Structure 1
């Protein structure tokens, strides 16, 4: 359109008419060219390109290279899963049928079967995120780019640093706990409902999903309001992964999205990019261990970051003091039902992007479900053993 406009003006318009100054018309032509260009670009961005992308997506779905619907959508994840799980063969022969690309137009009858098709993909995403979390834990643990050491009155070492990939400061806490690494990790993992007894910032916490055979679970954590209600309650949906690696015990935590826990009206959904706890045994002292806890928070607060960092440093120091008091009560506590922790023998390379592998749906708190195609675990059921986890890992709880 712009080219046609200029061609017509050049050949059909007489710029040198008698008693007329052509300078004004020249300015009009220049401005008109800019306006036409802006209009054409806007039309291209908002009308043409979205239609082309939608058409390309439909064409890609219609021309699948492998039309065999019995092929697995898990891809190479079946092979990588063997590196940190003894139950990889349980999904090795499972396949996911190819779903429809017009999922929005499906009715309720087909929506139920479509949801079950995506269950195995969700499990694979959980396992993939856990492997990334494992790598991130040990990357931060071995990192030496920390700020000056600040020792509190309780002999806690607190340091922080601005690390690439994190929007807020990353804190590194270090202290000595009067219990063995196995005892501390067992209490943090399996006695999660008692966390609020030693961490005063937590108002409510529950496990909403569990993969016990893979040392993975999903928890919902709500922290109390502060400053007399000036700062409202925050909640987190966290994926936890734990195990033993390099003669140390670790617990990695990161924020995820989960269909059982959509955002709540009375809470602000905060994020915890990373929480890495590493427990290292002290040579010659069986009932003591060295704890290194690395944390990063995004509390969605519109306050100066310096004030937030100072308040976080105080709260984290109080949390370590509460943890020390908690582990002192565990020294003489028997743990006959302690579950064995799997040993990770190979380290997966760090992948920083965090995929969003769930879309929020209605939350259900009556049962703890591993996934739509996993075994359903009741809250009061403690008789399920390791073999049942393996046999019913992908059974449909309908």
Structure 2
């Protein structure tokens, strides 16, 4: 029940991030995305918001994003090396482990994250994945990986009225990477990483359309 409560709470939290415009500061723009940040209320770091439009229906975009073992995300997202299911709580709530590769020219060592994830569908046709860190007895910290902690984060795919083959994608990252990383490394990593995320997502959706 505790896992379910955390999952439902993070769903509400992300919906709040999507609708609350206060305090965001733009830190990166590209053809694919506008990345903004503001101080996190969850931990001593920042929450980052990405906003972009991807060519593809919400169903196709979601196919590339959905958090499932053997899904497409490990194939196109350079920040996801492995993704495994630890426990299925309900049909729409699961506990998963994500492994990330080293980053920032090796300055950031491989990480692993254990999260409860809620998949939520809205009346307007939007679909979201919502995640936050949990402790799970089946996955204690492991040698070779720094255990990181995701605070409420995820992606929301929103249909665009009159544009059935375009999808507005919101993404939220607020991650404690753990370890003794300089703040400057973390602050420069996320905006660039999110811009790459949108670029690679667009390519993945396009290749899916061409199948």
Task: Say yes or no: TM over 0.5.
Answer: yes
Asked if the contact 2:28–2:191 (Cα under 8 Å) also holds between the matched residues in 1, the reply is: no
Q: In terms of Rg, which structure is larger?
A: 1
* In 2: Cα distance, 1:227 partner to 1:292 partner: 24
How has the CA–CA distance of structure 1 residues 134 and 190 changed in structure 2, closer, same or farther, with 3 Å as cutoff? closer
Asked if the contact 1:243–1:249 (Cα under 8 Å) also holds between the matched residues in 2, the reply is: yes
How has the CA–CA distance of structure 1 residues 205 and 190 changed in structure 2, closer, same or farther, with 3 Å as cutoff? closer
Structure 2: state its 5+ residue gaps.
Answer: none
**Equivalent residue, structure 2, for 1:364:** none
**Equivalent residue, structure 2, for 1:274:** 152
Asked if the contact 1:156–1:175 (Cα under 8 Å) also holds between the matched residues in 2, the reply is: yes
Asked if the contact 2:7–2:132 (Cα under 8 Å) also holds between the matched residues in 1, the reply is: no
Structure 1: state its 5+ residue gaps.
Answer: 1-123, 334-398
Asked if the contact 2:32–2:199 (Cα under 8 Å) also holds between the matched residues in 1, the reply is: no
Asked if the contact 2:74–2:81 (Cα under 8 Å) also holds between the matched residues in 1, the reply is: yes
How has the CA–CA distance of structure 1 residues 216 and 132 changed in structure 2, closer, same or farther, with 3 Å as cutoff? same
Q: Which has the higher helix share?
A: 1
SS in 2 for 1:218: strand
How has the CA–CA distance of structure 1 residues 126 and 303 changed in structure 2, closer, same or farther, with 3 Å as cutoff? closer
How has the CA–CA distance of structure 1 residues 304 and 187 changed in structure 2, closer, same or farther, with 3 Å as cutoff? closer
Work out whether 1:164 is the aligned partner of 2:41: yes
TM-score normalised by the chain length of structure 2:
0.89
Work out whether 1:132 is the aligned partner of 2:48: no
- Give the CA deviation at 1:228: 5.3
1:179-236 CA-to-partner distances (Å, cap 9, x unmatched) read: 22233224422654332211112222212222452x1111111111235544321100
1:173 corresponds, among 36, 46, 50, to 50
* In 2: Cα distance, 1:287 partner to 1:128 partner: 34
**Equivalent residue, structure 2, for 1:254:** 132
1:109-137 CA-to-partner distances (Å, cap 9, x unmatched) read: xxxxxxxxxxxxxxx12221222112111
- Give the CA deviation at 1:240: 0.9
How has the CA–CA distance of structure 1 residues 138 and 230 changed in structure 2, closer, same or farther, with 3 Å as cutoff? closer
Q: Which has the higher strand share?
A: 2
Q: Which has the higher contact order (CA 8 A, sep 6+)?
A: 2
- Give the CA deviation at 1:310: 1.1
Q: 1:347-386 to 2 correspondence within 5 Å? A: none
* In 2: Cα distance, 1:208 partner to 1:282 partner: 34
* In 2: Cα distance, 1:190 partner to 1:302 partner: 29
* In 1: Cα distance, 2:57 partner to 2:104 partner: 37
* In 2: Cα distance, 1:294 partner to 1:200 partner: 17
1:301-323 CA-to-partner distances (Å, cap 9, x unmatched) read: 42332331112211111111111
How has the CA–CA distance of structure 1 residues 190 and 131 changed in structure 2, closer, same or farther, with 3 Å as cutoff? closer
TM-score normalised by the chain length of structure 1:
0.49
How has the CA–CA distance of structure 1 residues 295 and 218 changed in structure 2, closer, same or farther, with 3 Å as cutoff? same
User: How many residues were matched structurally?
Assistant: 209
* In 2: Cα distance, 1:126 partner to 1:288 partner: 34
Work out whether 1:242 is the aligned partner of 2:119: yes
SS in 2 for 1:292: strand
Work out whether 1:294 is the aligned partner of 2:175: no
* In 2: Cα distance, 1:325 partner to 1:203 partner: 18
